[in-house]
């Protein structure tokens, strides 16, 4: 069973875009959870993941924006195929390797996503699918392991920017993989880069967090190595 979780910022937008699309792509046993409210949408998702983690027949949880329209009626089958490899924790529509901090699109891109804010109306990389370091947060499919293990970081989720790259980095820190698969979708969003200060705060928080994690990991490895000598 796949669950679809939509943290709704604008109910009218959900009713026009994400909602009707999910009715077309959901399977008979799929669960759709709509999460209205104020504050960080991703912290609302954390609470929902706690509930869904207890589902014994869970195949995956798709977290998507309320302005993301999934066009592919075979989306669940594609996700099922992508998650058949137990090493995969997160599946997205477009992403990149070696990104520049929380700006995943500054890396080597894979995948595609339609959007009205680029020439031609679509972001499309030469490679349609494959492994990446991070994916765009408009569509995040989490494996059952990821649903049980990963959560959106409150420090990044409150500022909106960087929550997606952080979640993918968490997965990779645990030795799991992040991949892109082909699922047709349109992100009917408005540009969100007007708040430069929030973006910079997100970048600094992300960089500080993962510099510390790498330092801890290196220190632990050094300790174990020394103990073996």
pLDDT in tens, 196-205: 787 788 888 8
φ and ψ of 55, to 5 deg: -75, 120
CB 37 within 8 A of CB 114: no
Q: What is the pLDDT of residue 226?
A: 38
For residue 40, is pLDDT > 50?
Answer: yes
167-191: average pLDDT: 94
Quote the distance between the C-alpha of residue 188 and its chain's center. 17
Task: Indicate the average pLDDT of the chain.
Answer: 88
pLDDT in tens, 152-170: 998 877 767 889 999 999 9
pLDDT in tens, 18-39: 999 999 999 999 999 999 988 8
Percentage of residues of the chain with pLDDT beyond 90: 66
Looking at the DSSP bridge assignments, the partners of residue 100 are: 103
* Residue 17: Cβ within 10 Å count: 21
For residue 223, is pLDDT > 80?
Answer: no
For residue 64, is pLDDT > 90?
Answer: yes
d(CA 173, CA 212): 12
d(CA 5, CA 153): 17
Tell me the pTM: 0.89
b or e along 23-58 (b: 16 or more beta carbons within 10 Å of the residue's beta carbon)?
Answer: eebbeeebeebbbeeeebbbbbbbebbeebbeeeeb
Percentage of residues of the chain with pLDDT beyond 70: 90
Domain ranges within the chain, ordered by starting residue: 2-228
For residue 193, is pLDDT > 90?
Answer: no
213-224: average pLDDT: 46
Q: Which segment of 48-57, 59-68, 122-131, 211-220 scores lowest on mean pLDDT?
A: 211-220
d(CA 103, CA 30): 32
What superfamily in CATH does domain 2-228 come from?
Spore Coat Polysaccharide Biosynthesis Protein SpsA; Chain A (3.90.550.10)
């Amino acid at each position: 069973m796949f669950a679809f979780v939509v943290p709704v910022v604008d109910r009218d937008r959900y009713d026009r875009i994400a909602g009707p699309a999910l009715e077309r792509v959901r399977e008979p046993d799929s669960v759709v959870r709509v999460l209205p409210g104020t504050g960080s949408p991703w912290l609302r998702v954390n609470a929902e993941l706690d509930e869904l983690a207890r589902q014994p027949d869970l195949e995956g949880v798709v977290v998507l924006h309320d302005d993301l329209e999934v066009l592919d009626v075979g989306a669940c089958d594609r996700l099922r195929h992508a998650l058949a490899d137990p090493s995969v924790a997160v599946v997205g529509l477009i992403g990149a390797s070696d990104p520049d901090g929380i700006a995943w699109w500054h890396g080597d891109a894979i995948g595609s996503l339609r959007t009205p804010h680029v020439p031609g109306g679509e972001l499309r990389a030469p490679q349609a699918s494959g492994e990446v370091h991070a994916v765009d947060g408009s569509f995040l499919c989490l494996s059952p392991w990821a649903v049980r293990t990963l959560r959106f970081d409150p420090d990044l989720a409150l500022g909106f920017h960087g929550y997606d790259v952080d979640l993918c980095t968490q997965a990779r820190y645990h030795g799991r993989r992040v991949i892109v698969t082909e699922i047709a979708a349109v992100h009917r969003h408005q540009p969100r880069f007007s708040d430069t200060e929030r973006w910079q705060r997100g970048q600094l928080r992300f960089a500080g967090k993962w510099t510390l994690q790498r330092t801890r990991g290196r220190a632990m490895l050094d300790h174990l190595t020394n103990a073996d000598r």
